[in-house]
Structure 1
Amino acid sequence: MSVSSSRKIMQIFGAELDKLITLPLIWLTLMSTFILNLALAAAFTSAGLQGTAGTQSILNIGLASMGYLQAGFIILGILATCSEYTGGQIRTTLTTIPWRGLQLSTKHLALAMITIPVAFIIAASGVLYTFIMIRDTAVVIEIDTIITTLIGATGYLTLTTLLSAAIGALLRRTTPALVVLLGYYFIVSPLMRIFLPGINKYLNYFPDTAGNYMYMPRSPDDINVLTPMQGTGISMLWTLMFITVAIVFYCKRDA
Structure 2
Amino acid sequence: MSAPSSKKLTLILGAELDKLVTLPWTWLTLVGTFILNLVIAAAFTSVGLQGGAGTQSILNIGLASMGYLHAGFIILGILATCSEYSGGQIRTTLTTIPWRGLQLSMKYLALAVITFPVAFIIAASGVLYTFIRMRDTAVEIEIDTMIKTLVGATGYLTLTTLLSAAIGALLRRTTPALVVLLGYYFIVSPLSRDIPPKFKNYFPDMAGYYIYMPPSSDEINVLTRMQGTGISMLWTLIFITVAIVFYRKRDA
TM-score, length-scaled by structure 2: 0.96
Distance 2:65 2:139 in 1: 19
Runs (4 or more) in structure 1 with deviation over 4 Å come to none
The 5-angstrom pairing of residues 125-204 of structure 1 reads 125-138=125-138, 140-193=140-193, 196-197=194-195, 199-204=196-201
Residue 244 (str. 1) matches residue 241 (str. 2): yes
Which of 203, 206, 211 matches 1:206? 203
Structure 2 counterpart of 1:249, which letter?
A: F
Structure 2 counterpart of 1:12, which letter?
A: I
Contact 2:214 2:224 in 1 (8 A): no
Contact 1:57 1:140 in 2 (8 A): no
Aligned counterpart, 1:72: 72
Residue 50 of structure 1 deviates from its aligned partner by: 1.4
Secondary structure at 2:212 match in 1: coil
Secondary structure at 1:40 match in 2: helix
Distance 2:229 2:103 in 1: 26
Distance 1:6 1:206 in 2: 37
Contact 2:167 2:243 in 1 (8 A): yes
Distance 1:16 1:139 in 2: 45
Residue 223 of structure 1 deviates from its aligned partner by: 2.7
Count of residue pairs brought into register by the alignment: 251
Aligned counterpart, 1:110: 110
Aligned counterpart, 1:40: 40
Distance 2:14 2:56 in 1: 45
Distance 1:158 1:185 in 2: 16
CA deviations over 1:96-116 (Å, ceiling 9, x no partner): 001000000000000000000
Structure 1 unaligned blocks of 5 or more: none
Which of 226, 231, 248 matches 1:229? 226
CA deviations over 1:174-214 (Å, ceiling 9, x no partner): 00000000000000011001xx24x2320111111000000
Distance 1:231 1:113 in 2: 22
Secondary structure at 1:136 match in 2: coil
Residue 93 (str. 1) matches residue 96 (str. 2): no
Distance 1:47 1:53 in 2: 9
Secondary structure at 2:213 match in 1: coil
Residue 84 of structure 1 deviates from its aligned partner by: 0.2
Distance 2:127 2:151 in 1: 12
Contact 1:77 1:161 in 2 (8 A): yes
Residue 4 of structure 1 deviates from its aligned partner by: 6.2
Structure 2 counterpart of 1:131, which letter?
A: F
Aligned counterpart, 2:21: 21
CA deviations over 1:32-62 (Å, ceiling 9, x no partner): 0000000011000011111254675210110
Change (3 A) 1:133 1:52: closer
Alpha-carbon RMSD across the aligned residues, in angstroms, is: 1.5
Distance 2:51 2:148 in 1: 28
User: Bigger CA drift: 20-29 or 139-148?
Assistant: 139-148
User: Bigger CA drift: 68-77 or 199-208?
Assistant: 199-208
Secondary structure at 2:6 match in 1: helix
Distance 2:177 2:229 in 1: 24
Structure 2 unaligned blocks of 5 or more: none
Secondary structure at 2:192 match in 1: helix
Distance 1:223 1:4 in 2: 50
